């Protein structure tokens, strides 16, 4: 909140899965893939390199990271329990000749570092996909270390 962000409520799963799995014995949480949503709740759709700009993709990845933080807070109670963001995976719905996947994923990465500082620095993969569910432009998931 002090950074000017508000966390969205955790979205209900669209199928037979849960948004967050907490492996308490390992001190880790795994999130399911989250997708970007507009203010009205509709999904942000389209292909990077074919109608969606890198800047729009960056913002979509950033808003998706906020959605993940909302799910983490709902699962853990407090984000202060996150001791480290371990791994981020950013899937980018992109045209065959699009090559700026890392620039899109930076939206999520930059937000996590802004929120958590050094605890937000993480390993990452940013990959292009021929299609994503409901034609969303990005899907993001992460693994975080948490305290008990």
Characterize the bridge pairing of strands 47-48 and 51-52: parallel
Dump pLDDT digits (tens) for 50-103. Answer: 999 999 999 999 999 999 999 999 999 999 999 999 999 999 999 999 999 999
Dump pLDDT digits (tens) for 104-142. Answer: 999 999 999 999 999 999 999 999 999 999 999 999 999
The pLDDT, as a whole number, for residue 91 is 98
């Amino acid at each position: 909140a002090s950074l000017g962000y508000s966390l969205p409520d955790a979205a209900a799963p669209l199928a037979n899965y849960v948004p967050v799995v907490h492996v308490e014995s390992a001190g880790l949480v795994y999130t399911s893939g989250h997708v970007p949503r507009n203010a009205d709740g509709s999904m942000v759709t389209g292909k990077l390199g074919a109608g969606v700009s890198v800047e729009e993709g960056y913002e979509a990845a950033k808003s998706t990271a906020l959605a993940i933080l909302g799910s983490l807070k709902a699962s853990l109670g407090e984000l202060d329990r996150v001791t480290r963001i371990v791994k981020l995976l950013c899937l980018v719905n992109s045209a065959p000749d699009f090559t700026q996947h890392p620039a899109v994923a930076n939206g999520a990465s930059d937000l996590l570092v802004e929120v958590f500082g050094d605890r937000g620095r993480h390993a990452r993969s940013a990959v292009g996909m021929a299609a994503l569910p409901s034609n969303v432009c990005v899907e993001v998931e992460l693994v975080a270390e948490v305290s008990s």
